[in-house]
Amino acid sequence: MSENFTMPARHKTWSILLLIVGLILCGVGIFANLDSPARIWTAWLYNNFFFLSIGLVATFFIASQTLGYNGWYVLIKRVAEGMMMYVPIGAVLMIPILVFGLHDIFHWTHSELYDPNDPHYDRILDSKSFYLNVPFFYVRSLLYIVLWAGFAWLLRKNSLLSDKNPDIKVYNRSKVLSSFFVLVFGVSSSTAAWDWLMSIQPHWYSTLFGWYCFISTFVTCMAVIILFTIYLKKLGYLKQVNQEHFHDLGKLMFAFSVAWAYLFFSQFMLIWYSNIPEETMYYKLRIEHYDYIMYACVMLNFVTPFFVLITRGAKRKMNVLAIACIIIIFGHWLDYYQMAMPAALDAAHLQPASIGLLEIGFALAYVGLFTFIVFHQLAKAPLIQENHPFVRESMVHHT
């Protein structure tokens, strides 16, 4: 039953090559935008948060399946764990962004906005200062980084322990850790989205924003899990993973694509018919200057996956799933771009900009880094968790 993964040298080379090419493009993009530090820091922020969120949601996926006593996912659990172990890396990379790019990304951090005697005084931001202030922002950010990285490390450590120790106490400990993590995740996933994305446009707010970001990342996370699982299957690993597992993953990806569209429309509809200036500014900015991004998000994140994955057979074919996954990942990367970049450029009084070498460079660098970390983690332990009480259930999984 035990399978040990060895990463082919050529694939390791490709990960490193992507990282290097991405960094080179980043360097060119940074040099071309030295007069626009807001764009540089925001490009790094949303790319880092996008990939960090994928690892974080992979942690949530493991925790939620553990608490639900689900057995079907056990054969792909180590894939999600490999993604989960990117969380400490992404969390640490968030530190220089928030320390050195704080004032360029977040308009609300400028002190003159809170001085009633200053001509730049902002009454709305002053009313939010109990939450939007730099010390409290850093405290929250540090809590996210420590808690997320800590839980990812503890869950992984406990999982590896089960390979050597068949005691049921090891599994029970995973349930306790998962319970605490889900509580932490339930609050921090939304507040981090408020802090690191929504506050880039601080006059605007949406009570759906945290859920919107979560669902966007959950769909992406399922797509990434499917791609890594297909990759391993193509190399001859995970022989017990069958069409039923892909069908279930495909159903989750399809369902949450529809849920994303529901929240996308709900947020837009509520803001449109209420027609409150503080709310409509979000869509006004994006429809006037980034309409092609908005339409592309709808097409890539809802219309295409809906029609590609709506049939049962499509969710059971690896090649069809792989195409859908690539489209979805790119679509939600665009979604994160439109959540962050338009607001940052507008706050810095910069002209609207299309996606360029800077954004593409960061994306390629993070793809290379993310895949390298996941492959490295997959090679550190058996691909199937030994002594998991539900491993047999996963092996005979049938829907």
- Encode the chain (399 residues) as per-residue pLDDT tens digits: 568 888 888 888 999 999 999 999 999 999 999 999 999 999 999 999 999 999 999 999 999 999 999 999 999 999 999 999 999 999 999 999 999 999 999 999 999 999 999 999 999 999 999 999 999 999 999 999 999 999 999 999 999 999 888 889 999 999 999 999 999 999 999 999 999 999 999 999 888 999 999 999 999 999 999 999 999 999 999 999 999 999 999 999 999 999 999 999 999 998 998 888 888 999 999 999 999 999 999 999 999 999 999 999 999 999 999 999 999 999 999 999 999 999 999 998 888 888 999 999 999 999 999 999 999 999 999 999 888 899 888 888 876
Provide CB contacts within 8 A for 352, sequence distance 6+. Answer: 289, 290, 342, 345, 346
Is residue 3 within 8 A of residue 313, CB to CB? The reply is no
CA distance 189 to 186: 6
In a domain, 265, yes or no: yes
Position of tokens 């001085």? 115
**Full residue range of the structural domain in which residue 333 is found:** 9-395
3 occurs within a structural domain: no
Do residues 211 and 266 touch, judged by C-beta distance below 8 A?
no
Evaluate whether residue 176 is within a structural domain. Answer: yes
Of the candidates 96, 106, 86, 220, the one whose C-alpha atom is nearest the C-alpha of residue 148 is 86
Would you say the C-alpha torsion 13, 55, 260, 273 has a positive or negative sign? negative
* Residue ranges in 197-290 assigned as alpha helix (H): 209-234, 243-274, 277-289
Q: Is 258 a domain residue?
A: yes
Q: For CA atoms 109, 114, 118, 121, give the dihedral sign.
A: positive
The pTM of the whole model exceeds 0.85: yes
In this structure, what DSSP letter does residue 300 have? I
Cβ atoms of 358 and 27 within 8 Å: the answer is: no
Looking at the structure of the chain, the number of domains it has is 1
391 located within any domain: yes
Cα(159)–Cα(174) distance, integer angstroms: 8
Task: Flag whether 362 is in a domain.
Answer: yes
Amino acid symbol at 197: L
The Cα–Cα gap between 76 and 357 comes to 35
Give a yes or no: residue 1 inside a domain: no
R_g (Cα) of the chain, nearest Å: 21
For the chain, the first-to-last Cα distance in angstroms comes to 22
| Residue 93 counted as domain residue | yes
Distances (CA, A) of 340 to 44, 45, 120, 247: 11, 9, 23, 33
Asked whether 332 and 217 are in contact (CB, 8 A), the reply is yes
Beta-bridge partners for 382: 4
